[in-house]
Amino acid sequence: MRVRLKLVNEAGEERIDHRTIVREVMINEDFVNPKNESIALGFRNKHSSGIIEMSIPEAEMLFREVNKKMHLIKGFKIFGTGGVIRVDSKGGKK
């Protein structure tokens, strides 16, 4: 994952461009107040770590927008303990 930030403060403008690895996907459920539910991506690297947290509507919007553009991706590989799984642009496994 690539994290790119532009921060503006009284000292001026600061840009951060960093590559890191997503280590965990967390789903925060709130049974008492369902509007407070969120999805978080935890990332960690040698020099940085953090959490990107988004509400359920934000995650749904992100999913819809990525889903619209999936035809542009020719394929990707999923590496896991069971070996490599190749997935084509239509979601089919090879």
Is this structure's pTM higher than 0.75? no
d(CA 66, CA 52): 17
Residue 17 sits at the vertex; the CA angle it makes with 51 and 63, to the nearest 5 degrees, is: 50
d(CA 50, CA 61): 22
Domain carrying residue 72: 2-88
Number of domains in the chain: 1
Residue 93 lies in a domain: no
Are the C-beta atoms of 50 and 40 separated by less than 8 Å? no
Residues of the chain with pLDDT below 50 are none
Residue 26 lies in a domain: yes
pLDDT tens string 32-59: 887 889 999 999 888 888 999 999 899 9
According to the model, what pLDDT value does residue 93 have? 54
